């Protein structure tokens, strides 16, 4: 089994995500959490609103300085390679989209690219990480509800306080 990213969302989930982000442009969604493995880290995958549309940001970090070698071994075409920022310690994906209709396809494409980078690092280290990260309705709803609650509190002039 290899490292996989599974998107278990329906069309209503994507519509709700677009609506909440459009109404709260300062908010961002963390679709995948930080994951630390033996030789590589998977940084949170964020979706944010920009003036022109949406932005995706994610990163795979390495414990050894192998970023440029991984990028070369991926054999990406120029168009795909432009979405990645590469240095010795990490490969970062940054993608901006201007059309809301492209959100779903570009999100899937971006996550597949990060999955491919991660699996290439695993094969280069002769390690197999059998982990599946899932983006599902329940986790998305928790984040969207949190954003909505924070916005409502802000409108009333209140701020969430820590317990204690």
Task: Kindly report, residue by residue over 109-160, the tens digit of the pLDDT.
Answer: 999 999 999 999 888 888 888 888 899 999 999 999 988 888 888 887 776 6
11-23 and 137-155 helices, crossing angle to 10°: 20
Examine residue 107 and state whether it is found in any structural domain, yes or no: yes
Examine residue 157 and state whether it is found in any structural domain, yes or no: no
11-23 and 103-124 helices, crossing angle to 10°: 100
Task: Kindly report, residue by residue over 73-82, the tens digit of the pLDDT.
Answer: 888 888 888 8
What Rg, from alpha-carbon coordinates, does the chain have? 17
Residue range of the domain that includes 18: 4-142
Examine residue 48 and state whether it is found in any structural domain, yes or no: yes
In whole angstroms, give the CA distance from residue 62 to residue 10: 33
Mean pLDDT (whole number) for 94-119 = 89
Mean pLDDT (whole number) for 51-76 = 88
Q: 130's torsion region: left (phi>0), alpha (psi -120 to 50) or beta?
A: beta
Examine residue 150 and state whether it is found in any structural domain, yes or no: no
Number of domains present in the structure of the chain: 1
Chain-wide mean pLDDT for the chain? 87
Give pLDDT, residue 44: 92
CA atoms in the 13 A half-sphere facing the CB of 75: 2
Examine residue 163 and state whether it is found in any structural domain, yes or no: no
Examine residue 156 and state whether it is found in any structural domain, yes or no: no
């Amino acid at each position: 089994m290899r490292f996989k990213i599974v998107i278990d969302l329906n069309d209503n989930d994507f519509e709700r995500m677009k609506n909440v982000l459009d109404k709260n442009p300062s908010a961002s969604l963390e679709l995948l959490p930080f994951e630390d493995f033996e030789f590589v880290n998977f940084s949170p995958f964020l979706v944010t609103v920009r003036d022109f549309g949406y932005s995706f940001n994610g990163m795979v970090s390495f414990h050894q300085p192998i970023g440029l070698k991984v990028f070369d071994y991926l054999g990406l075409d120029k168009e795909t390679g432009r979405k990645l920022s590469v240095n010795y310690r990490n490969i970062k994906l940054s993608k901006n989209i201007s059309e809301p209709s492209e959100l779903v396809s570009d999100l899937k494409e971006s996550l597949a690219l990060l999955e491919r980078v991660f699996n290439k690092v695993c094969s280069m280290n002769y390690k197999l990480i059998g982990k599946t990260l899932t983006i599902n309705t329940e986790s998305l709803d928790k984040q969207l509800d949190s954003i909505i609650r924070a916005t409502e509190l802000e409108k009333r002039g209140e701020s969430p306080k820590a317990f204690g």
